[in-house]
Structure 1
Amino acid sequence: MLCSGSGRKIPHRASFGLAAATILLMLPCSQAWSDNAVEPDADTMLRAMTTSLAGLKSFSFDYDVDDEIVNNTGQKIQFSASGSATIARPGKLFITRKGPYADAEITFDGKAVSVYGKTLNVYAQIASPGPTIDEAVEEVRMATGLDAAGADLLSADPYAVLTSDVRAGSIVGEAYIAGIKCDHLAFRGEAVDWQIWIEQGERRLPMKYVITTKWVTGAPEYTVRFANWNVAPQIDANMFQFTPPDGAKKIDSIVADAIGDMSVEEVQ
């Protein structure tokens, strides 16, 4: 989440969304949370959700993302995007994202992350230091400066990642997301506060996730809503193999822009 000046010009570029999907990365901090500051029932619900997520070998979902920035007049501007994700643990993913500046596909085959911008027919690749999704996401963060705020839920150990900075947590109550009854939890950390809505029943999957960057002027929020969870998808293995389309141009430079998209400047 960045504070952006008004009148920001968007350069001629291919913009690749990996936020949320790209999902979606909240990296662990060194200070652990205090158990007595978190309601036991809230911790139990969070553990149930993260155990459910971590136990999935393959899964897919659709998502909608709202990402706020605050300009230098204090006005909040919200950017929205939609996409889908297919995951095969430990080291395969395919994510699509369509937003204000991005119509992109992100592929990880266990060796490299490939980011393809469909509008300009360009792509870029980042080699992963290891075969897992966690290692690939961390390498993307290091290479681009992008913290994909939903990728914590894709981690092999989402509980450890989510609670790394938590100071307090509680159950807010029940709510409905897309007609699905959920438990609503709220947690506080040093840098951010966050909320999560967890589907009631056996699956215990996340339906909505909100991060508030509370020390940035205006406290901008990142929101992702999940839909159409499939915990036993039929996956074509070719989905995770990126082959550049005819005429696609390879571009080397990838950066994170002000709305959380992964972008490359088009070579002129």
Structure 2
Amino acid sequence: MRTVRFFFEPTVDSPSALHGSETKGFARLRSMASVSQSLSRRTDMTIKLPLAVAAGCLCVLAHPASAQQAAAAPAAASTAVITPEIRAAVDRMASAMKSLQSLEFKADLVSEEVLADGQKIQSSSVMSASARRPDRLFIEIVSKRRNRQFYYDGKTLTVFGPVNKYYVTVPAPPTTAAMLHQVDERYGMQTPLLDVFEWGVTGVKLDKVTSAMEAGADTIGGKVCEQYAFRQKGVDWQVWIPQTEPALPCKLVIVDTVDPSQPAFSAMFTWTSAPQLADDRFAFVPPQGAKRIPLETPNVPGKQEVAPK
């Protein structure tokens, strides 16, 4: 399971928290914030999945011929396990996501931390997100333990801790998708629910899924939603899709099956219909007393910290 930097949800508001000096447990706690981040960059695995949900080839540390054979097997299996009905449901959700030029949602998040003795501790928070294609994004994650705000205006990315008023700002690529990938690769900052933002661009990739099933209907947030469960190497995930339109996801659950304790992450969504999002929603204006601090680039050879101007 990928260790997600806690950049959005540190346990304390301080410069060191913005940089990553969080406890190991809470760093692992963020590791299942998206299906697409859950398997890449594991130092203890020879197989590494890319950021898109199960997209791309399997990169096996073996001879090229062996790698090709290993990559072909999951794709062949997925043809049989993805029924036309499941594919249609997932495509319907992806189409609903792609149709949104602006989106806004609130998500109730529940994560599990695995302690050294194997005991699991749950942590809850609320994520609010606003986005406008192709180059605007605002995210806020709040709980009793932490508060982070994330501003992207098409030119820069700013992460702000409102409690102690520390923030970092770095240059960013001109699209949201490129920005999310760049800050992940360069700074180790990873986005909760990255899948939700990617599904509206790339669709839902199922080519590495080894098992898929329709699990029945649930009522979530007053809507009747169909539950779909998927398995792929190292991760189980479930998505609930409403029976009525628009087919925006009701709930997402991700389980790390590599860790023997199988910690889980869940998000329950409430969507805003046709949000009107002005530019100032995505522009960070430092409040009085705010301090800009450097953003380090940990474990990236040749990279220097980004100093405040």
TM-score normalised to structure 1 length: 0.82
- 1:238 alignment partner in structure 2: 280
From 214, 222, 231, the equivalent of 1:188 is: 231
- 2:22 alignment partner in structure 1: none
Which has the bigger relative contact order, CA under 8 A and spacing at least 6? 1
Would the aligned equivalents of 2:106 and 2:269 in 1 still touch at CA under 8 Å? yes
What is the deviation of 1:113?
A: 1.4
From 68, 71, 75, the equivalent of 2:115 is: 71
Q: Percent identity?
A: 29
Would the aligned equivalents of 1:79 and 1:100 in 2 still touch at CA under 8 Å? no
Deviations 1:180-224 (A, max 9, x none): 100100111112110001111120110100011101120111111
- 2:184 alignment partner in structure 1: 141
- 2:247 alignment partner in structure 1: 204
Distance in 1 separating the partners of 2:92 and 2:288: 45
- 1:175 alignment partner in structure 2: 218
Query: CA 1:255–1:226 in structure 2 vs 1: closer, same or farther (change >3 Å)?
Result: farther
Are residues 1:43 and 2:87 paired?
yes
From 97, 109, 123, the equivalent of 2:167 is: 123
From 283, 288, 293, the equivalent of 1:251 is: 293
Give the counterpart letter for 1:53 in structure 2: M
Would the aligned equivalents of 1:170 and 1:186 in 2 still touch at CA under 8 Å? yes
Would the aligned equivalents of 1:64 and 1:83 in 2 still touch at CA under 8 Å? yes
What is the deviation of 1:100?
A: 4.3
- 1:265 alignment partner in structure 2: none
Query: Rg: which structure is higher?
Result: 2
Distance in 1 separating the partners of 2:121 and 2:260: 13
Q: What is the aligned-residue RMSD (CA, Å)?
A: 2.7
From 165, 170, 175, the equivalent of 1:132 is: 175
Q: For structure 2, which runs of at least 5 residues remain unmatched after alignment?
A: 4-9, 19-28, 37-50, 58-73, 299-309
Query: CA 1:39–1:174 in structure 2 vs 1: closer, same or farther (change >3 Å)?
Result: same
Query: CA 1:204–1:91 in structure 2 vs 1: closer, same or farther (change >3 Å)?
Result: same
Would the aligned equivalents of 1:58 and 1:231 in 2 still touch at CA under 8 Å? no
| Structure with the higher helix share, 1 or 2 | 2
How many residue pairs align between the two structures? 245
Q: For structure 1, which runs of at least 5 residues remain unmatched after alignment?
A: 4-8, 257-268
Distance in 2 separating the partners of 1:185 and 1:88: 28
Would the aligned equivalents of 2:13 and 2:163 in 1 still touch at CA under 8 Å? no
- 1:266 alignment partner in structure 2: none
Are residues 1:30 and 2:73 paired?
no
Give the counterpart letter for 1:133 in structure 2: T
Distance in 2 separating the partners of 1:199 and 1:254: 42
Would the aligned equivalents of 1:85 and 1:96 in 2 still touch at CA under 8 Å? yes
Deviations 1:211-250 (A, max 9, x none): 11101120111111101x1241122221111111112111
Deviations 1:139-172 (A, max 9, x none): 2211333443411111242524x53532221211
Distance in 2 separating the partners of 1:137 and 1:39: 32
Would the aligned equivalents of 1:122 and 1:251 in 2 still touch at CA under 8 Å? yes
TM-score normalised to structure 2 length: 0.72
- 2:128 alignment partner in structure 1: 84
Give the counterpart letter for 2:194 in structure 1: A
Distance in 2 separating the partners of 1:254 and 1:166: 36
Distance in 1 separating the partners of 2:113 and 2:137: 28
- 1:99 alignment partner in structure 2: 143
> Where in structure 1 do 4 or more consecutive aligned residues deviate above 4 Å?
9-12
